[in-house]
Amino acid sequence: MLRDLANSVYVRFWRLPRIDRAYKKLSVEDAFRNIYLTKVWGDNGEPFCSGDGSHGPVSEQYCASVVRFIRDHQVQSVVDLGCGDFAVGKRIVEASSVQYTGIDVVSELIEHHRRSGHNPRVTFLCADITRDPLPPADLYLVRQVLQHLSNREIARVLANLGNSSQALISEDVPVHPRWFNVDKPHGPNVRFCGSGVYVDRAPFSMPAVELWSIPLTDKTLLRTVLLEQTSSQ
């Protein structure tokens, strides 16, 4: 127990602050380029790896839930913000008939997908979702992306989603949160100390409805909310 406590203190007060300081100096584009090129999120033998969250039972449950939402709501077009290695997006495309656009800020990753892809329903676009215009779509997907951004950048993404589309926002959060939306610099780490990203709570306070939650561990889950914005907002 003492060893676990010592390790927790080391990670919280020494290792994570050092990582945060290093990535804070980088632009969003350079930060995520460095994450992929240095394999911070793992190495699956492919040129780009988005980590364990893109594979396994949880991602399969997520894909099944999204495909069911697409069919129930007759969604024709999807924009995936922060598409990463496309492991999740590919399964959604294969299980539905949507027109899919994957967006990521890392140009090398996007070029890799463009060279590898042959599906006429799939398009890839290099863009910074915190500031660049987004293509229109029936549905935006934002899965485990906001947790790697600062609160200021999250607010920009939410504003950038527009005012007439639906968005499914999925984030890793504690089963029993102690705080909400603790701020952090952009980078590979997520929020810690019992916090997570909740777009329906301050400082964002968006009109969101929780649709489903998928257990990740005994202490965390993948929470998905539906963000519906209207032109009256």
Q: What is the structure's pLDDT at 165?
A: 81
User: Residue 192 falls within a domain, yes or no?
Assistant: yes
* Mean pLDDT confidence for 108-127: 93
Biggest CA pair distance of the chain: 56
Residue 212 above 50 pLDDT? yes
Q: Mean pLDDT throughout 37-55?
A: 84
Please report which confidence band the pLDDT of residue 53 belongs to, taking 50, 70 and 90 as the band edges: confident
Per-residue pLDDT band for 149 (boundaries 50, 70, 90) equals: very high
pLDDT at residue 5 greater than cutoff 60: no
233 within a domain of the structure (yes/no): no
User: Number of folded domains in the chain?
Assistant: 1
Rounded to the nearest 5 percent, the helix, strand and coil shares of the chain are: 35, 20, 45
Residue 164 has what pLDDT?
64
CA distance 166 to 40: 31
Which CATH number covers residue 80?
3.40.50.150
Asked if the structure places residue 154 within a domain, the reply is yes
State the angle between helix axes of 87-94 and 57-72 in degrees (0 to 180), rounded to the nearest 10. 40
Q: What is the residue range of 142's domain?
A: 2-228
Question: How many other CB atoms are there within 10 angstroms of residue 56's CB atom?
Answer: 9
Nearest 5°: phi and psi at 155? Answer: -60, -40
Higher pLDDT, 44 or 133: 133
* pLDDT score of 22 more than 80: no
Spatial contact of 44 and 118, defined as CB atoms under 8 Å apart: no
pTM beyond cutoff 0.85: yes
Q: Phi, psi (5° rounding) for residue 130? A: -80, -10
Residue with tokens 């584009």: 29
